[in-house]
Amino acid sequence: MKTFEIQIKKNRSAKECSFTWPTWWGEVNEGVDVVAYEDNPKAFGGHSEGAVCVCDNSVWDIIAAKNDKDIMELTETTANEKGREWRPQVTKITDQNKVLELVSKVALGKTLTAKEKKVLDPDDPTQGIGKSELFDVAKIAKDKGDVLSEASIQA
């Protein structure tokens, strides 16, 4: 598997955003997973933004042969830095009922136990409030490889 960044030309207005991919992109896009986009929603007009992509080695060979200045192979570390910036980890509710129960308890002026407080701690693995998965390009590439392997087994 290869990880790379491509610069995509964007033209953004207050109401819409259009993307312009390289003219040769149609040759490879079926074999490429775009896993993270840079997004600057307040950058109006024409400009370029990056996209982190993953593909298998045979697709990469086709892409590399294009010698396109808008393509840059990435190390795992660099891909993760970009992906984590563009797709940051967020706090999310993992068990709505537990959270509502505890919020109700607090609203009634009751004190939460240490165990109940863990439900509201996004850094604690207890279901309630948690965090989204941390962007990990190696895991994404592995999952892509697993899907490709399963598809070839089923074919």
* 54 and 107 in a common domain: no
* pLDDT tops 80 at residue 39: no
Grouping H, G, I as helix, E, B as strand and the rest as coil, residue 92 is strand
Range of the domain at 103: 91-130
pLDDT by residue (tens digit) across 47-100? Answer: 888 999 999 899 999 999 999 999 999 999 999 999 999 988 899 999 999 999
pTM: 0.72
pLDDT for the residue numbered 97: 94
pLDDT by residue (tens digit) across 101-152? Answer: 999 999 999 999 999 999 999 888 889 998 988 899 988 888 766 544 343 3
pLDDT for the residue numbered 145: 63
User: Among residues 27, 60, 88, which one ends one of the domains?
Assistant: 88
How high is the mean pLDDT of the chain?
A: 86
**How many distinct structural domains can be found in the chain?**
2
* 82 and 115 in a common domain: no
Count of residues for the chain?
Answer: 155
Residues 6+ apart with CB under 8 A from 114: none
* 109 and 72 in a common domain: no
